Amino acid sequence: MSKIFTVFGATGQQGGALINFILQHETFSKEFRLRGVTRDASKAEAVKLKERGVQLIEADMNDPPSLRPAVDGAYAVFAMTNYWDKASAEAEITQGKAIADASRAAGVSLIIWSSLPNVTQMSNGELTTVHHFDSKAEVEDYIRSLNFPSSVFYLPGWFMQNVWHGFVPKPKMISVDTVLFPFAWPPDLRLPLIDVSDTGKYLAPALRDPAKYDGARLVSATAHYSAQEIVDTWSRASGKNMRLATGNEAEQFITHPMQREVLRPGPLFVKYGYFGPSGPQDLDWTISQLEPADTLTTWEDFLVQNGPWDFE
């Protein structure tokens, strides 16, 4: 008999990608019955999931009692929160702990938490304002304390899909043949890029053998790309000349204080790295666990698949 797999964020990027992966997977599609959690089951994305056979449950992470039906009888839970929904670390921590508590009370056997490194700890207190990383890490620590039969922690890199995210400035034509990439990144700065559509590929090993990966952190990305590689590859894919911004050029794109930490990278990216000093080795380990058939999407693949690229 198939087991219930509850997926939070079912109509979002990570949850939606995991659902797509399982529905299309020869083994997992038979092993699991999917239950998608959303705040509004009437919206178009939710209706489409229902038409594909996903059970839809309405729940609000800010209302803990509403989470009980979402996890009741579930074998596995994919849990995630959106820091930017309230832009509050306290709110995100409360939401994450509420999901964890409801899942533990329901007897869930496997919980997968979408996490990130604790930057305050990683930097020995040098960096204390990367709240959207630290809040997820705090929830991870809490989940570990609950002693689930199996808990797995999924740490995705920088989404390739950020190129069309409203918070991230878009490349801009500055002459008839030149496009400005609005990030003042050093050319050798390395960033782990992930196509969020690949989410299920990274989680597949833990779904096959939860006990083996109990407590594991799956640092996930296709590869670390240098800033120069990012713009050079986009130049090839678009047929236009793209270059990195200077510090002064990046300033004109900043409309929110958090953007300054990204467009003009601080110590997290430059000194410690997105995943921390051991990030490259941790990523190599995660990739070594994947099935050979689960080919990861490269940055160039992503750009070609989503082209043509027109810049204003």
Specify the pLDDT at position 263: 87
Residue 265 has pLDDT above 90, yes or no: no
Helices and strands, counts by H and E, the chain = 15, 13
Specify the pLDDT at position 32: 98
Phi-psi category of 68—alpha, beta or left, where left has phi over 0 and alpha has psi -120 to 50? alpha
Which position has the token pair 């997105």?
274
How far is it, in rounded angstroms, from Cα 42 to Cα 45? 8
The C-alpha angle with vertex 53 and arms to 50 and 55, in degrees rounded to 5, equals 60
User: Which of 289, 298, 158 is CA-nearest to residue 222?
Assistant: 298
For 299-308, the pLDDT digits (tens) are 999 999 999 9
Residue 113 has pLDDT above 80, yes or no: yes
Confidence of residue 1 (pLDDT cuts 50, 70, 90): confident
Handedness of CA 154, 22, 193, 205 (dihedral sign): positive
Return the higher-pLDDT residue of 311 and 150: 150
Q: Which residues contact 41 (CB under 8 A, 6 or more apart)?
A: 47, 50, 56, 57, 58
How far is it, in rounded angstroms, from Cα 9 to Cα 16? 7
Confidence of residue 95 (pLDDT cuts 50, 70, 90): very high
Strands (E), the chain: 3-8, 32-38, 55-58, 76-79, 110-114, 150-156, 158-159, 172-175, 178-181, 190-194, 217-220, 223-226, 241-244
Give the residue-averaged pLDDT of 2-10: 97
Q: Which residues contact 72 (CB under 8 A, 6 or more apart)?
A: 106
Confidence of residue 186 (pLDDT cuts 50, 70, 90): very high
Note the CATH number of domain 3-148: 3.40.50.720
Task: Note the maximum CA span of the chain.
Answer: 61
SS3 22: helix
Q: Please, what is the average pLDDT of the chain?
A: 95
Confidence of residue 255 (pLDDT cuts 50, 70, 90): confident
Specify the pLDDT at position 168: 81
* C-alpha 114: how far from chain center: 7
Give the residue-averaged pLDDT of 206-211: 98
How far is it, in rounded angstroms, from Cα 208 to Cα 100? 22
Give the residue-averaged pLDDT of 229-252: 95
Q: What is the pTM of this model?
A: 0.96
Residues in the chain: 312
Which position has the token pair 């990523």?
283
Give the residue-averaged pLDDT of 290-307: 96
SS3 275: coil
